């Protein structure tokens, strides 16, 4: 059985839009796409040509970065676009279901709801340090389940769930696609789940240049999966998903020098994460700090609103996640530069003297 057997049956034989660049032919003079023929404007070059739907150079640079074949990489406008397209491809509105965990990244529920898919989440509890009970997750999977999405390291808890991926993928074989969102894997101590792609055809991995590579503004993310899945997602995506300036920005962060710099910054943020977690743990206004595998730390105080305002008065915006299931009193702090992180620690230690 192929993972493509799990696609919406009404998409069988789907005919992709045949854009000019997708047709594949080329000639020195291009009069096939209704583009402006001048490549310059008042301030210099204009991106007057449509970009390649999946730029070859970027695809091989990402395949190299992620340790997979080029045929296993689909590049989109952030991993958010891949999440959306997976929902559309696999879930019949009003019928099929997506299973995830809670608390987690809010886009899964949003994208499922937009598609009309049903969405169920297994609760992770603060008293269990947000550990996942794999059997509880599998118990949620029924005949209409098409996608199981697991964020690891999980946002906003920072918990790593990689230890159960191999087991989960085997249990879901022939039943559902297992999607692992690895937006923060660069900050963890574990290899990417992409190492299991050869073994599990029903596995897909989401990566992004938004976090560890500093390119949130460029909107470049990747879906890693079987060649068949990658081809299908490409066939339902927008004709030219990637803006030319974003393609250039992505290539610029994938040079050897840029990858070395990213590695240094990742190491610094990991060290900051440990330093800030330790410092937060000693403060009387904080009653719990969870160990994180991401570039952020989740912590709990008696009054999340008060902590939020203490940081704000010192010029720092934190993320109040206290309204989410199981996260009463909790805030999430992204790791900034050491001087930025110190502003939060100062605000909280002054706050408890006041």
Ligand X SMILES: *Cc1c(COP(=O)(O)O)cnc(C)c1O
Q: Is 84 in the site for ligand X (CB under 6 A)?
A: no
Which of the ranges 22-30, 57-65, 205-213, 262-270 carries the binding residues for ligand X, by CB under 6 A? 205-213
Give the separation between CA 209 and CA 228, rounded to whole angstroms: 23
Q: Is 295 in the site for ligand X (CB under 6 A)?
A: no
301 SS3 class: strand
Instruction: Give the CB-nearest residue to ligand X.
Output: 78
Give the separation between CA 167 and CA 313, rounded to whole angstroms: 47
Judged by CB under 6 A, which of 50, 105, 232, 348 binds ligand X? 105
The secondary structure of residue 206, as a DSSP letter, is E
Shortest Å distance, C-beta 83 to ligand X? 7
Shortest Å distance, C-beta 74 to ligand X? 13
Give just the sign of the alpha carbon dihedral 216, 147, 85, 75: positive
Closer CB to ligand X, residue 151 or residue 262? 151
Cβ-count burial of 143 within 10 angstroms (0-12 exposed, 13-18 middle, 19+ buried)?
A: exposed
214 to 243: interface string for ligand X, x by CB under 6 A: --x----x----------------------
Shortest Å distance, C-beta 79 to ligand X? 4
Please list the helix, strand and coil fractions of the chain in percent, rounded to the nearest 5, in that order: 40, 15, 40
Q: Is 210 in the site for ligand X (CB under 6 A)?
A: yes
Which of the ranges 60-68, 73-81, 250-258, 323-331 carries the binding residues for ligand X, by CB under 6 A? 73-81
222: which strand partners? 75, 207
Interacting residues of 135 by C-beta distance below 8 A, sequence separation 6+ = none
CA distances from 203 to 96, 197, 298 (A): 18, 6, 28
Pairing of strands 44-45, 40-41: antiparallel
251 to 280: interface string for ligand X, x by CB under 6 A: ------------------------------
Judged by CB under 6 A, which of 54, 79, 322, 341 binds ligand X? 79
Shortest Å distance, C-beta 102 to ligand X? 13
Judged by CB under 6 A, which of 132, 151, 229, 280 binds ligand X? 151
Judged by CB under 6 A, which of 86, 147, 150, 183 binds ligand X? 183
Cβ-count burial of 164 within 10 angstroms (0-12 exposed, 13-18 middle, 19+ buried)?
A: middle
Which of the ranges 166-174, 210-218, 245-253, 317-325 carries the binding residues for ligand X, by CB under 6 A? 210-218
Judged by CB under 6 A, which of 80, 96, 186, 201 binds ligand X? 80
Which of the ranges 31-39, 209-217, 230-238, 278-286 carries the binding residues for ligand X, by CB under 6 A? 209-217
Closer CB to ligand X, residue 88 or residue 211? 211
Q: Is 78 in the site for ligand X (CB under 6 A)?
A: yes
163 to 182: interface string for ligand X, x by CB under 6 A: ------------------x-
The secondary structure of residue 154, as a DSSP letter, is P
Give just the sign of the alpha carbon dihedral 277, 281, 287, 290: positive
Q: How far is CA 305 from the centre of its chain?
A: 28
Q: What burial letters (b/e) apply to 72-81, b meaning 16+ CB within 10 Å?
A: bbbbbbbbbb
CB-CB contact of 159 with 290 (8 Å): yes
Which of the ranges 203-211, 223-231, 265-273, 315-323 carries the binding residues for ligand X, by CB under 6 A? 203-211
Closer CB to ligand X, residue 121 or residue 183? 183
Q: Which residues bind ligand X (CB under 6 A)?
A: 78-80, 105, 151, 155, 181, 183, 208, 210-211, 216, 221
């Amino acid at each position: 059985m192929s993972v493509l057997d799990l696609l919406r049956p009404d998409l069988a034989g789907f005919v992709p839009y045949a854009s000019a660049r997708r047709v594949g032919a080329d000639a020195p003079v291009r009069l096939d796409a209704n583009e402006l023929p001048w490549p310059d404007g008042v301030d210099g070059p204009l991106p007057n040509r449509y970009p390649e739907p999946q730029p070859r150079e970027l695809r091989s640079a990402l395949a190299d970065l992620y340790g997979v074949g080029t045929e296993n990489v689909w590049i989109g406008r952030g991993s958010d676009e891949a999440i959306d397209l997976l929902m559309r491809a696999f879930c019949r509105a009003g019928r099929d279901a997506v299973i995830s965990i809670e608390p987690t990244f809010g886009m899964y529920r949003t994208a499922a709801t937009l598609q009309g898919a049903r969405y169920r989440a297994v609760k992770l509890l603060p008293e269990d340090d947000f550990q996942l009970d794999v059997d509880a997750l599998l118990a949620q999977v029924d005949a209409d389940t098409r996608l199981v999405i697991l964020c690891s390291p999980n946002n906003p808890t920072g918990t790593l769930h990689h230890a159960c991926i191999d087991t989960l993928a085997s249990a879901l074989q022939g039943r559902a696609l297992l999607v692992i969102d690895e937006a923060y894997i660069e900050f963890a101590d574990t290899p990417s789940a992409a190492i299991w792609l050869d073994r599990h055809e029903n596995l897909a991995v989401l990566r992004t240049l938004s976090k560890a590579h500093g390119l949130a503004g460029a909107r470049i993310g990747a879906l890693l999966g079987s060649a068949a899945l990658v081809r299908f997602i490409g066939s339902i995506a927008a004709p030219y998903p990637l803006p030319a300036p974003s393609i250039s920005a992505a290539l610029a962060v994938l040079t050897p020098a840029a990858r070395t710099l990213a590695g240094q910054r990742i190491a610094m943020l990991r060290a900051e994460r440990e330093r800030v977690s330790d410092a937060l743990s000693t403060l009387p206004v904080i009653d719990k700090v969870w160990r994180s595998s991401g570039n952020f730390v989740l912590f709990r105080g008696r009054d999340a609103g008060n902590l939020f305002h203490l940081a704000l008065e010192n010029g720092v915006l934190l993320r109040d996640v206290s309204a989410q299931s199981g996260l009463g009193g909790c805030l999430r702090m992204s790791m900034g530069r050491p001087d930025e992180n110190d502003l939060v620690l100062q605000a909280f230690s002054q706050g408890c003297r006041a």
